[in-house]
């Protein structure tokens, strides 16, 4: 599907409102593809009331919500090697009540949790204000009901 920024925000909030936890959602795309726009929308939908600044320096930021859900937002762009993930508490990620959002998941290599959603955003060459969105199921993450689009399966 091809969405403008407002539509992407609506869709992301709907994901955040409806997703079951624990869930890991990887957000893939080039610089400026809209990974953070989508992560913030999912977080807002899940009940985060704070603004969600970019975790590009801290790599990981954690948010409480109105409910017992916690949102964990990671941006792994500055990760040098996947081994650095252990310092972030990587092994405890994906606890019962967490929505884990991971930008630049490819930096985690083989350490990515085996069950997750992978959302890929691309900027169409001729439409700089739209984004093509593809959703891939990797392993067996909890169902997402916010998907009015086809889902492919990987791994």
Ligand X SMILES: Nc1ncnc2c1ncn2[C@@H]1O[C@H](COP(=O)(O)OP(=O)(O)OP(=O)(O)O)[C@@H](O)[C@H]1O
Could you give the angle at the alpha carbon of 145 between the alpha carbons of 28 and 35, nearest 5°?
A: 20
Residues numbered 47 to 76 that lie near ligand X (CB under 6 A) are: 75
What is the distance, to the nearest Å, from the Cα of residue 39 to the centroid of all Cα atoms in its chain?
5
Q: What token pair was written down for 140?
A: 């067996």
Give the count of beta carbons closer than 10 Å to the beta carbon of residue 5: 14
Q: Report which secondary-structure segment, H or E, holds 135.
A: strand 131-138
- Shortest approach of Mg ion to residue 107 CB, angstroms? 13
| Alpha carbon distance 131, 1 (integer Å) | 8
Segment interacting with ligand X (CB under 6 A) among 24-32, 45-53, 93-101, 144-152? 24-32
Q: Residue 134 interacts with ligand X (CB under 6 A)?
A: no
Of the candidate spans 14-22, 34-42, 61-69, 108-116, the one that interacts with ligand X by CB under 6 A turns out to be: 34-42
CB of 68 vs ligand X, minimal distance in Å: 27
Binding region for ligand X (CB under 6 A): 3-5, 8, 29, 31-37, 75, 77, 103, 129-131
């Amino acid at each position: 599907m091809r969405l403008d920024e407002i539509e992407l925000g609506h869709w992301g909030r709907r994901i955040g409102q409806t997703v079951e936890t624990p869930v890991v959602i990887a957000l893939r795309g080039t610089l400026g593809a809209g990974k953070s726009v989508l992560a913030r929308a999912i977080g807002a939908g899940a009940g985060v009331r704070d603004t969600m600044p970019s975790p590009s320096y801290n790599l990981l930021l954690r948010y409480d919500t109105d409910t017992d859900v916690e949102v964990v937002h990671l941006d792994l762009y500055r990760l040098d090697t996947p081994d650095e993930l252990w310092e972030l508490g990587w092994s405890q990620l994906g606890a019962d009540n967490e929505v884990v959002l991971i930008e630049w998941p490819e930096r985690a290599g083989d350490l990515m949790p085996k069950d997750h959603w992978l959302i890929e955003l691309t900027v169409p060459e001729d439409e700089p204000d739209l984004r093509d969105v593809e959703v891939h199921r990797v392993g067996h993450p909890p169902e997402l009901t916010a998907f009015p689009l086809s889902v492919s399966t990987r791994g």
